[in-house]
Amino acid sequence: MLSFLQDVLILILASGGSLLLLAGLNRVWPREKRSAHNALIGWQLGILGTTYAVILGFMLYTVWTAFGAADLNVDLEADALRNVYRLAEGLPQQQHLQLESEARDYAKAVIEQDWPAMARDQIPEGSHEINQAMWRTLMSVKTASPAEFIAEDHALTELSALTEHRRTRLIQSRLRLPVIFWCVLLTGGAVTIFSTSLFGSDNAALHAIQVFSFTLLITLALLAIGDVNLPFQGWVHVSDFAFVRAQQNMQDH
């Protein structure tokens, strides 16, 4: 995934490339001759610009919604882990101590193993093994009182939620925009910028500013889509702060 410096470099190259395209077009087809076709070019640009703006806005909304869903899912997973830890107090002594230890190990594994693995586009395994151990611990409980039965029942519910949110997190870490969508976005951006360059303007400086502005806006939007598209990779990613807080809470308890 792209870093912040790579995003800046792409932005500079795209903006510079569009200005070079304009300069080359002015040399091959002088702007004085192109001005006779401004009405046709303007009609074409209006259709292209509107269509591409809708596509760009929809894609940006889609990836941002997915990013927000991944962020919320992480919070819910961390909340479920804290609840399992708290409910362990109501279990028999052996399972109580064992489940609390496994909950702390789970938070540590997510922070130290899962997040680096997902950043490398890999499927983490450390938390999976601990999750399975937590299930074995809870299933080994032999309740001797109504309070222990209620604690076990609620702990099973929270552990089920924890497992589900973990599975969802792994799925979300692998989801991305299909290649065909990127082809549409990149081709649409290139065609829109080229159409903007075709205008035959008497003011060369103003035309260059317009082309630069279009390129800057389109490139920024594409970079934003690319950065948010993979919620656990790159410099814009879902934070592990929820698990850091859960880990602190369990250590302070």
Amino acid sitting at position 108? K
121: left (phi over 0), alpha (psi -120 to 50) or beta: left
Residue 24 sits in which domain range? 4-252
Residues 88-99 have pLDDT tens digits of: 999 999 999 999
Condensed to tens digits (0 to 9), the pLDDT of residues 43-78 reads 888 888 899 999 999 999 999 999 999 999 999 999
Q: Is the pTM of this model over 0.85?
A: yes
Please list, in sequence order, all residues whose beta carbon lies within 8 angstroms of the beta carbon of residue 119, skipping any fewer than 6 positions away: 1, 232, 233, 237
Structure tokens at 130: 């601990």
* Complete DSSP assignment for 169-219: HHHHHH----HHHHHHHHHHHHHHHHHHHT---S-HHHHHHHHHHHHHHHH
- Range 6-11, long-range pairs (CB < 8 A, 24+ positions): 7/223, 7/227, 7/235, 10/219, 10/223, 11/216, 11/219, 11/220, 11/223
In angstroms, the CA 159 to CA 252 distance is 21
Domain count, the chain: 1
The answer to whether 236 and 243 are in contact (CB under 8 A) is: no
Rounded percentage of the chain residues whose pLDDT exceeds 70: 99
Q: pLDDT per residue over 203-235, tens digit each?
A: 889 899 999 999 999 999 999 999 999 999 999
Which strand (E) or helix (H) includes residue 123?
none
Q: How many CA atoms lie within 13 A of 162 on its CB side?
A: 26
DSSP 147: H
Residues 6+ apart with CB under 8 A from 54: none
